[in-house]
A and B are shown apart, each in its own frame.
Chain A
Amino acid sequence: MSLRDDFQPKWKLLLKWGWLSFAVFILMAPTFYTVYISFNELGFGAKYYNFTFQWYENVFSDKQLIGALGWTMLLAIITLPIVIPFGLLSAKLYKQSTQKVWIVFVLLSPLFVPADILASALLVFFKNLNKFFTLIAEYTGIYSLDTWFDLGIMTAVIGLIVYTLPYVFVVIMITMARYRNEQTEAARDLGASAWRAFWEIEFPQIRAGVFSACAFVVILTFNEYTRTSLLKGGFDTFTSVLISQMLNTGMSEESYAMASIVSLVAVVIVSAILILTAINTEELEKKTRIVKEPNK
């Protein structure tokens, strides 16, 4: 990355880079600090720093936490195969549609609706749906309908789909923007079915975006608290255990370790995606340059 010389003194450019780096540092400071404290044997506020893995060992021997990790993973595994195809279809629909405003409005609005408000609305919606289905079960005698919208995995997954779909849509759309539809048209002209044209021509080119979207869904599922805690029913998720520990006993050393695990996993995955994307883009640009200017 290099600075652009635009008739500006170098110190001014450095000052601006400094401001940008300072903003990133401030945004990341809470995460860095959590990780830093999580390795201190003496915990927060101590005068001395003794490096230890003790708090991590405690976390991994906590059965409640391991159970919560399992439930959170299950939510992510169920959400993924539903939300990714939805995101793909939405991005394709957006590209082809003339009514882009409405598609964007419906798909991106959940980003703007605060978690507590959407969660409250969904909670009351599911409770009403449950009453409606109980009535249907009574009339039809199909009693399995009774528990369809009981608070549990299904309602939590629906909440997560509504929450993660805008992110999936945006990530896939960014990758799809580079894809030229003429390639699909050519494949179809040569006799390929719509599915084959998508799977063999389009998908390999947007694969990076789809895999990034998958990673984002898993990370967001592990980070999400408000919607899941209201809609999950009886089981515990990773963040609900973390929050209950934080609110009941304050930030214990184990809380710092738990928070660090989630944060570090997210940071490592996202960094890996960013680095791979950067390398891919560079290679793509190099290839384009070679095709455009073969003699250079």
Chain B
Amino acid sequence: MIIFFVLPLLLTVVWSVFERTMFWMEPAFTFFSYENFFFSSRLENFLSSMFHSSISVVCAFFIGFPIAIFIRRRVRKVAQHRVMLLFILPFMVSEIIRIFALRPILSRNGVVNSFLMDMNLIDSPFSIFVFTPTGVVIGEIVSFLPFMIFSTFLALEAIPNYIFEVCADLGVNRRRMFKDIFLPLAAPGLFAGSVFIFVNGIGIALIPTILGGPGSVNAGLIATQAIIALDFPLAMAVSAIMMFTLMGLLYLGHRLFNLTKLLEPIS
């Protein structure tokens, strides 16, 4: 893992300052690729993909966190893992297939629009579900929601049952329980899930390519397009920026919440 994972990612920093040649790159010390990234529309695209990913994180929180709390609190201990396993199934179907299949479901003559029109809820079909930023957000939620539920549930699983019993005995209301028990104790899981969705949202090229339409570009797509255009230093600069973003977020999360707590229930 050190040779084929850590080393290539660290070396992206070195390769990003190399000079581009016709088909490859040569050793140099230039920030041209970074200038190329930061002083062009690529930065705007990158920031816009960050914005869309943040929306996906917020949506995944509102959908996934109540589900994780429900499984931890209301499902019998022996059945909790079985219910969690339901969310493994979609994760095991290829992401490409799931994203591609969203097109006919969300398109103008797709299942969702047909259903809404059959129910007389709308007069004409919505066209905002695909080839728009909304489509990208929907794709990210469908792709990454299980991870938010897994990581949050893992964090909640580490909370001993007596804490809930004490709260019940003391008559703590739901809002206070959420604010003072669930939210702080599930914070490592929420953070890990959020980082996963955020980073993959700005780094996976497939979702904007299939669901985002012509103007939708993220860091992953910039890197892939740079490789196709044989601009390897630019691709490496984008990879290095992504890597620093990820490392920064994980370091911050670990300092704030100690992310290794997440693995305590399974180790």
Contacts and interface: CB of A to CB of B under 8 A. Distances in A.
Please say whether chains A and B are actual partners in one complex: yes
Interface of A: 1-4, 6, 8, 13, 16, 19-20, 23-24, 26-31, 33-34, 37, 44-45, 94-95, 100-101, 104-107, 109-118, 120-125, 127-128, 158, 161-162, 165, 170, 173-174, 177, 216, 219, 222-226, 230, 239, 242-243, 246, 251, 255, 259, 262-263, 266-267, 269-271, 274, 277-278, 281-282, 285
Given A23-B67, A112-B199, A270-B92, A106 B6 contact: yes
B66 A19 contact: yes
Contact of B204 (A100, A115, A230, A259): A115
Nearest to A26: B142
Contacts, number: 231
Contact of B4 (A30, A109, A162): A162
Given A44-B104, A112-B246, A116-B205, 9 more contacts: A1-B75, A33-B111, A45-B109, A100-B260, A113-B242, A114-B242, A225-B94, A263-B94, A271-B89
Contacts of A267: 89, 92-93
Contacts of A114: 199-200, 202-204, 219-220, 242
Given A4-B75, A26-B142, A259 B97 contact: yes
Interface string B77-117: 01101110111111011111111111111000101000000
B220 A31 contact: no
B57 interface: no
A116 B76 contact: no
Q: State the majority secondary structure of interface residues on A.
A: helix
Q: State the majority secondary structure of interface residues on B.
A: helix
B1 A106 contact: yes
B88 A270 contact: yes
6 contacts: A27-B89, A100-B267, A113-B203, A117-B219, A259-B101, A267-B89
Contacts of B263: 100, 104, 173
Contacts of A8: 74
Given A20-B71, A114-B203, A262 B236 contact: no
